[in-house]
Amino acid sequence: MKSTDLITKLAEMENLKHKDSCSTVKLIFHLFTDAMKKGERIEIRRFGSFAVRDYGNYTGRNPKTGEIIEVKPKRLPHFKVAKELIKRINGT
């Protein structure tokens, strides 16, 4: 499912104008992004949780050349699936 599919489905299910549905979805994504930038955890019950993980610098290797390189510290988003979602997907 793409964000455009989500916008269309929301508009259909809640009888909204496409413009209003688009604004709502964009607002939610914006709020999620802002929260994660601040290092906050986002939890959606029965779906999963989003968090940011910090990774320190490390020595890596360029896969094309084999050259040893220093990889800078970074922050990456992480998603943990809720057990309820796993059960629903597997039909148990």
- Condensed to tens digits (0 to 9), the pLDDT of residues 59-75 reads 999 999 999 999 999 99
The predicted model scores a pTM of 0.77
- Phi then psi for 60, rounded to 5 degrees? -125, -170
Tell me how far CA of residue 4 lies from CA of 26, 79, 83, in angstroms.
10, 22, 27
Q: Which amino acid, 49?
A: S
Statement: residue 21 has pLDDT above 90: yes
| 1: amino acid identity, one letter | M
**42-44, strands of its sheet edge to edge:** 42-44, 48-55, 74-81
Do 92 and 51 fall within a single domain?
Answer: yes
State mean pLDDT over 8-28.
96
Q: pLDDT class for 46, splitting at 50, 70, 90?
A: very high
What phi and psi, each to the nearest 5 degrees, are found at residue 5?
Answer: -65, -40
- pLDDT value of residue 92: 77
Asked whether residue 8 falls in the same domain as residue 29, the answer is yes
Same domain for 5 and 28, yes or no, is yes
- Domain holding 10, by residue range, is 1-38
